[in-house]
Every structure is written in structure tokens, then in C-alpha cells.
Structure 1
Amino acid sequence: MRLLSVAVLASLLPAIPSTAFAQSGAASAGTTYYVDSRAGDDAAAGTSAATAWKSLEKLAAAELKPGDTVAVKRGGSFTGPLTLEAGGTAAQPITIKAYGSGALARITGSDDDCVVVKGNHWAISGLHASNCRWAGFRLDGDNNELSGIKADRNIAGVFVSPSGSRNTIRDSVLTDNNRMSVNDDGGDNDSGAFGVLLNGDDNVVTGNTITGSFAKSADYGIDGAAVEIFNGDRNTVTHNISRNNETFTELGAQKGKTATGNVFAFNVVTSSRSRGSFLITRGSRHIVGPVKGTIAVHNSVYLPAKDTIGWSCHDGCSPSILKLRNNVISVGGVAGWEDGSGADEDGGVYQGRTSKFKPGPKSVIADPKFVSRTDLRLRPGSPALGRGVALTPKWYGGKAYGKDIKGKALSRPLDSGAYQH
């Protein structure tokens, strides 16, 4: 999304926090209800697999309470939406999980977003949202967690609306969310093809695999992003695997709004597509700028095609706009691009056909020696080994995220990139 206008937002939207979020492990003392699209019966009690309900409508109408659990049978298929308005608590979230064997239950439907979470403190896993009106999963509430979910063929696999904050999207698979919602000539306003779209604040996106976020655009040729942030502050995007997306992340804010203090750490980004980028952000001269305080640390990026960009900080870049540390970025195009006074960069290894930025004192332009095109671990002799500069936890979202993409604790000397050796 290059620009999402106020009018577009109004047409699309209805009138773990930064610390580790662990709702799914909380003890539940409530009732467990079962839903089975094939063998269920809405006239049944719903409190056992043998008396399961059949429909999402029955589930949505249930008076769920903190500590309750909903078990949805695998292999089923539903027409959405599933709207969740009840609320749990931090100690007793309301949980949705899968049971049985086979594929995750699939929810689809062109009339609405498939799973709409209006309440707070839900822990949702084991659902698959596909080919929905706009979003597979929409989070309007706070302190909710999505884990182990799937989303595909949507405009946004997961959408955190402006009212959604302190939510977590983790350990999930978001594939081929490759549709546009606005796609017309002119206006610089085409929008769509998001793995995750964050319009809210203080959300965490971690441990996910995000692929195929791109679609044809009348304005831009191709558009899309694994994780898009628009008008969202202090979001943490960390330890994700990104493959074959148009860009990994693009940031913007409409005038009068902010997208400040977002962190991208320990992500691995690869693509075999003919174009792509890792990070796109803007200064004050851009129509959706300035985007202030973005931090990108310990990311590993390999985009070998010619029409590629490692990172771009344009229309008034400065250290207040973008800070980069300990990244390893190899592209076939522009390794990094800045204007104005430039970004604050150090500890990186860069390879590209060209670049326009001032490397930091410990940064180097060199072949990072990745193991392969898709395996971005470092081979012996890599210039990224031991090159990283020391960082406090605030650089990568807090102590809970102080580990590499494989879970290895950080220790000195630090290697640049997402992998420590």
C-alpha cells in the first residue's frame, strides 16, 4: 500500500504486547464447547464432541465467559463471518483451538471478514480463513493472540484495525494474500495484498511464515507487503520468515497521524521474484510521511533480481526517521538509498549493483557469503561474522526477543544478520 486515504479507510472499516504474550498457556477453568461443521447439531448441548454444535452462528450467539474454550473440529468448512464479541481476562482468556485430525477448519465468505475479534483477551488458534471479503482475521480489540492460524487469498491475511492494540500474531502461516481492495488508475491510492496490515499500536508479529503478498496494481504495477504499517505506533515485527513478497515492510501515516517507533528485528527475507524490497519508509516531504523512529536490526535479506531495493528512506530521510544496525542485505539492485541527512546505520554488510547511503563505521560493502539463495546462514569467512555492534534490548523490542531466528541467545562477538554462529 503506497497510500490509504481517509475515504478508503472509512469505506473498509466498521464505525503479545511488546513483552512476551502467553495467553495460550493460561489455565482455563471454564466450559469447553465443541463445533463440528459435518456432524454437529445446533440443537445439541455443545459441551462434548458427541454433542457438538454445527454452525458459527450458534457459536457467535453463545454467552462465552472468561476461561471458556471453543474446540473446532478439523476438516470442517464454514461460511463466515465468525464475530467474537465476548471478552476474557489476562488470567482467563477465551480460547479457540482445533481438535480431531486433518486440515484446519476453513472459514470463507465474500460478504464479510471471516473472523472478527471485537472483544479482548482471546487466544485463537487452529482456524484457516480463506477468500474472505477483505481480511481473513480482523482484530478490533486488545490483548488478543492469534497463533497457529492460516490465512490465504485475502486482501489482508490479518488486519489489526486502528482500535486494535497489544495484540500478538505468532507462529502462523500467511500465504498468497494477493488481492487488491483499491486498484484504479491515478490517485496514488491502490491498496492490498498484505500478509499483515497494522493500523493499531503496540502489536507483535513474530515467528510467522509469510509468502506471496503481491498483486497487480494500476498505480504501481505490482504492490503488496508481508507486513504493512499505516498509522500504527510501537509495533514489533520480529523473527519472521518472508518469501516472495513484493516488499517485506512499507510504512506510512496520513497527515495528522503517526507511525512512530516500529521495530523490525531478526527477520529473514528472500525472494525469487523479478522485483522486491526489504523496507520502504518516508520523510516529511512525502504525502504519507514522516514515519519517525523506525528501527531495523539483525535482519538477513537476499533479493537477487535487478529490480530490487534493500532499504529506502526518502523524501527527507534523517536519523530520526530510520536507524539500522547489524543487518546483512544482498540485492541485485540498490542495496540502500537515502536522501536528506540520511539514516543512522552501522554494523551492516551490504551487496548490490549500486547504493546511495553512507555506511556506518563498522559497515562494509562485500559479499556476505550466505549458504545459499534460500539459506541465509553465514559460511566460514563471511564478513558478517563478528561484525555486529553491541545493542541494548530496546533496539530489538525487549529482552524477550534477544535471540536469533533459530532461538540462539545473543553473545559477543555479535554476528550481523538474523543468525548467530
Structure 2
Amino acid sequence: MRNKKRALEIVGFIILVVLLIVMYGFFTDTGKMHNVFERKSKVFYIDSNDGDDNNDGLSESGAWKTLCKIGQHIFVPGDTIKFKRGSNFNTTLHVSQSGLPNKYIVLTDYGNKDMPAPAFTNKQFNPDKDFYGNCIRLKGSYILVENLYFYETVAELSGNIRFLKMWELGAIYIDKNATHCIIKNNELFDCGVGIKSYGEHALITHNYIHDCNRVLKEWSWGPLAIWLGGDHQEVSFNKICNYRAIDSRINWGANSYGDGADGGAIEIDDGRFPKSHIEIHHNFTRDNQGFIEVTWTDVVQNPPYSNFLIHHNISDDYQQFIALWCGEDCKIDNNTVIRRKSNVCDWGVFNITQTNSNNYVRNNLVVVENDIIIFPGGKQATKNANSIISNNLFFIASGSMVMGQEGPGDNAIFSNPQLINYHGQEADDFKIKSNSPARRAGLNLGYSMDYEGKKIPKSIKTDIGAFIFSKN
């Protein structure tokens, strides 16, 4: 009897240990370990030049040196990880712990503002070893990444690299299970893929992403600044410039609109996951191979995409403002679109191809040159998207008017919009003057502020385009 009782005590003890281990793992994975250990949030410092991994990392004078120390540490909600300005890192930082709605885990900078922002790069791409050229890969939720610099990450891949591996790229990568992450006030230069996000409720805002002209994948793809693979995401107030590649290795076949050019500011794909409620607003893009493309086929064809909200953006790009190969019940409102640049591939302005998709195109200010088609309707002339088109302003700055299969819609205006400086290069150049026909000619669609942040009056009529007129 004693032996039996002793055996039961041992089994009970083992079960207790196992439960403690499981609970430890649960709280670590969900970022709630502070409930067990009640550790207060802390600030950690990383200095790649003068730090030392033997330090405790809890002060500027006691900063760590490498990202390895971060990977070995368990962070709790409210922790801040600060990288010293002038530092440089060349590997992948995985952040697996999570913050809370009122206690984000923060990755940011510190030090002399005259020094360069903390810099990150990674040129390693080896899928067999789970190397995808990421600099920061977020696996936890409620994480903020701000004030950092990313440069010259992976591009120009060759060989039989299929979708599932390509979708892992991104200087900053947000995992599918990482929700409510914020990517803010960062600069990305010459990154084959700038920001890749799968995480729901991600906010990508106020970043400057620029100057990548390298082929991303030699058989078809150009560079991408922001790449979305999940739903419930927001992309706002970013500046994206010069993301495009022109190269003979880029070839979409004999039936494509033109071989040799690809890339763009924003792309939405990965048909494995239905997508809805993606909002793209108040962005300025220039010299990219298109503002946005929404794909219709990859590992899955014709996935269910719906309810995208694209408004108050300014685009001065190549190829197209929007290529909506897949998507319905989307709203494309109050954008200022300048299509004066054309290269070997061109898809017009509003390339909307799904039949009977009932997308809205309203209050947009469109200026076109070089006989660029406004509503091409896709490769097949029989396509009819049945878009709801109204209150747009169209102006042909040079060449001929080519409206295409849809449009001009109801209450269209054909007139010079009277922009501040049509030949300019910055967003402010595309404000409207006091004598613009775009004034009080649009529908009031319930938006609260224009591109510049000015309050939109709640009158019956509002201004067409991304700006409302202002004397200031």
C-alpha cells in the first residue's frame, strides 16, 4: 500500500511539473508572462559599436552589442528596445513575445539625432535554413517598430523559387499570427521587398520607402515597397518613390501588355487567405511601376477579396493607379492621379477587371498624357466590371482622350483642374487653385480630412481629388 501511495505521489508530482511547464510556455507565447512573474517593464539598450553582450543592457553605458542578446531575452508588455543611432546590424531579429493594447513592446532609437538612424540589412536568402532576407520579423502582437533605417536587402533571386518562399520576403515582416503591430516613421532604401504584412490590424504609416530598381525574381517580378497578404490592414501617410525594375528578364509572356517592367508601391496577393477591410489612404507615390495591384491568381485563383477602401492618395507613377484584377465592393475615392509616365508596360488608370464587381470610383482627379487609357477593363474586351462611377474630373494634358470600356460615369467633368504646379514632383504641387473646376463638384462621402489633414466640410458637395482648396 505504501509503495502504491508513493507511486501516486510521484505521478502527481510529475503531472504538476508538466502543468507548470505548459503554463510557462503559454504565458511566454502570449506575452502574458508578467502575470506570473509580475516583472515591471524595462528599457533595453543596443549599441553595435561600443556595447558589450556581457552587460545587462539596462542603461546606455551598459548597452548590449548584438541582436543575439535580444533573441535570447523574454520581453514583457511595455518593454522598450532602443538601438543607438549610428549602429548597424546584419541579421534577422525575431520578436516572438507580445505586448498589450495599452502596453506595446517598442523597437526604437536613442542617441544623438545628428547621427544616422540605427541601420539594418540582410542579404541572406536560403529557404532551406529559414533565411528570407528579413531584418526584423514580428511573431508577436502589439509591437511598435519606429525610427529605424533598412537598406539593400534581398532581391535579384534566381532559380525555381515559388510563391510560398517568395511570400516570406520583407525587410520588415509581420507574421500571420502577429496582430495589431505598428510600423511607423521608418526609412527603407533599396529593399527588394520593403514591408510585408500578414498580420490583422497592422498599421503601416508615415514611412519613407524609396529607390529600388533591382529585379526581385528574374522570371517575372520587380521590387515591392509594401506587400499585403492578410486582411484588416491600414496603409497610410507613407511616401513611396522609385520602386520599379525595367529588365529583359521580367517577362509576363507574349499576351502581356508589355514585357520587361514590373514592381510597384503596394501589392495585395496570396489567395490562400480571403481579404477584406484593407484601407489605403493619404499616401504619396512617385515614379513607381504602379500605385497598387490586387492579383487574381497565385496558388489559388479568384480568391474572395472585398471592401477595400482606397482614398485621398496622390499617385504620379507608371503603369496604373490601380490594377484590381480581383476585388468587389471596393471604394476608390478622392484620389489625385497623374498618369504622365509610361514605359514598356502600361495598364491605364483604373484597370478593374472582375465582371459585375460593383466597385465605386468617385471624386477622383485624373490627369493623363501620352494617350494612356483611363478604363482599360483588362485584357479581355468582353469584360464588364459594372463599376459605379461618378463625379470624377478628367483632363488630357497631352495626346488624345481614350476613355476605355467604362466611364466617364455620372457628372463627369472634362476640364483643366488648375493644379498649383502640374510639372512638380512633390505632393503639394498637386493642390488645386481657387479657380479649379474640382471645387465643390464632388459627392460628400463622409471622409473627415483631406490629404493634408484639413477638415472636410460636411456640406452636400465637396472638392474632387485628394485636396480640398485652401487659401493657406
What TM bracket, shorter-length normalisation? 0.7 to 0.9
Equivalent in 309, 313, 318 of residue 356 of structure 2: 318
Equivalent in 79, 95, 107 of residue 120 of structure 2: 107
Distance 1:115 1:258 in 2: 30
Distance 1:246 1:181 in 2: 13
Distance 2:78 2:306 in 1: 35
Query: How has the CA–CA distance of structure 1 residues 336 and 379 changed in structure 2, closer, same or farther, with 3 Å as cutoff?
Result: farther
1:391: Cα distance to partner? 1.1
Equivalent in 190, 193, 198 of residue 223 of structure 2: 193
Contact kept in structure 1, 2:265 and 2:288, CA below 8 Å: yes
Name the TM-score, length of structure 1 as normaliser. 0.83
1:256: Cα distance to partner? 5.8
Query: How has the CA–CA distance of structure 1 residues 324 and 29 changed in structure 2, closer, same or farther, with 3 Å as cutoff?
Result: farther
Contact kept in structure 2, 1:177 and 1:214, CA below 8 Å: yes
Higher relative contact order (CA 8 A, sep 6+): 1
Cα deviations by residue, 1:20-60 (Å, 9 ceiling, x for unpaired): xxxxxxxx961000001111001001001000001111112
Residue identity (%): 22
Query: How has the CA–CA distance of structure 1 residues 156 and 202 changed in structure 2, closer, same or farther, with 3 Å as cutoff?
Result: same
1:351: Cα distance to partner? 2.1
Amino acid at match of 1:139: I
Distance 1:410 1:364 in 2: 21
Distance 2:138 2:212 in 1: 19
Give unpaired runs (5+ residues) of structure 1.
Answer: 1-27, 185-189, 283-289, 394-401
Residues 1:249 and 2:296 are matched in the alignment: no
1:183: Cα distance to partner? 2.4
Classify the secondary structure of the residue corresponding to 1:59. Answer: helix
Classify the secondary structure of the residue corresponding to 1:195. Answer: strand
Contact kept in structure 2, 1:249 and 1:280, CA below 8 Å: yes
Residue 98 of structure 1 corresponds to which residue in structure 2?
109
Amino acid at match of 2:188: A
Equivalent in 206, 230, 235 of residue 171 of structure 1: 206
Equivalent in 212, 215, 220 of residue 245 of structure 2: 215
Residues 1:276 and 2:319 are matched in the alignment: yes
Structure having the higher Rg: 2
Residues 1:234 and 2:234 are matched in the alignment: no
Contact kept in structure 2, 1:67 and 1:93, CA below 8 Å: yes
Residue 370 of structure 1 corresponds to which residue in structure 2?
419
Residue 79 of structure 2 corresponds to which residue in structure 1?
68
Cα deviations by residue, 1:294-316 (Å, 9 ceiling, x for unpaired): 221110011223565221113x4
1:195: Cα distance to partner? 0.9
1:338-417 paired onto structure 2 within 5 Å? 338=377, 339-340=383-384, 342-352=386-396, 353=400, 354-356=402-404, 357-372=406-421, 373-374=423-424, 375-393=429-447, 402-411=448-457, 412=459, 413-417=461-465
Equivalent in 291, 295, 299 of residue 335 of structure 2: 299
> Which one is further off, 384-393 or 38-47?
384-393
Contact kept in structure 2, 1:310 and 1:330, CA below 8 Å: no
1:341: Cα distance to partner? 5.1
Distance 2:149 2:438 in 1: 39
Query: How has the CA–CA distance of structure 1 residues 124 and 306 changed in structure 2, closer, same or farther, with 3 Å as cutoff?
Result: closer
Equivalent in 177, 181, 193 of residue 156 of structure 1: 193
Distance 1:319 1:78 in 2: 46
Contact kept in structure 2, 1:213 and 1:245, CA below 8 Å: yes
Give unpaired runs (5+ residues) of structure 2.
Answer: 1-38, 125-132, 155-168, 253-258, 378-382
Contact kept in structure 2, 1:175 and 1:210, CA below 8 Å: yes
Classify the secondary structure of the residue corresponding to 1:116. Answer: strand
Amino acid at match of 1:370: L
Distance 1:177 1:201 in 2: 26
Classify the secondary structure of the residue corresponding to 1:51. Answer: coil
Cα deviations by residue, 1:296-354 (Å, 9 ceiling, x for unpaired): 1110011223565221113x44352x211101011112233334153211111012332
Classify the secondary structure of the residue corresponding to 2:69. Answer: helix
Classify the secondary structure of the residue corresponding to 1:334. Answer: coil
Residue 139 of structure 2 corresponds to which residue in structure 1?
118
Amino acid at match of 1:81: T
Distance 2:230 2:87 in 1: 32
Amino acid at match of 1:87: S
1:414: Cα distance to partner? 0.5
Number of residue equivalences: 367
Distance 1:198 1:312 in 2: 19
Residue 267 of structure 1 corresponds to which residue in structure 2?
313
Cα deviations by residue, 1:182-213 (Å, 9 ceiling, x for unpaired): 322xxxxx234111000111111111101111
Distance 1:224 1:382 in 2: 34
> Which one is further off, 339-348 or 303-312?
303-312
The runs of at least 4 aligned residues of structure 1 exceeding 4 Å deviation read none
Contact kept in structure 2, 1:253 and 1:259, CA below 8 Å: no
Cα RMSD for the two superposed structures: 1.9
Classify the secondary structure of the residue corresponding to 2:462. Answer: coil
Residues 1:204 and 2:234 are matched in the alignment: yes
Cα deviations by residue, 1:96-138 (Å, 9 ceiling, x for unpaired): 1111121111111111311111111101102112222331100
Contact kept in structure 2, 1:154 and 1:178, CA below 8 Å: no
Higher strand share: 1
Name the TM-score, length of structure 2 as normaliser. 0.74
Contact kept in structure 1, 2:222 and 2:261, CA below 8 Å: no
Distance 1:306 1:68 in 2: 48
Distance 1:142 1:206 in 2: 17
Classify the secondary structure of the residue corresponding to 2:306. Answer: coil
Residues 1:35 and 2:74 are matched in the alignment: no
Amino acid at match of 1:324: V
> Which one is further off, 337-346 or 247-256?
337-346
Cα deviations by residue, 1:66-108 (Å, 9 ceiling, x for unpaired): 0100111111111121111111111211011111121111111
Classify the secondary structure of the residue corresponding to 1:260. Answer: strand
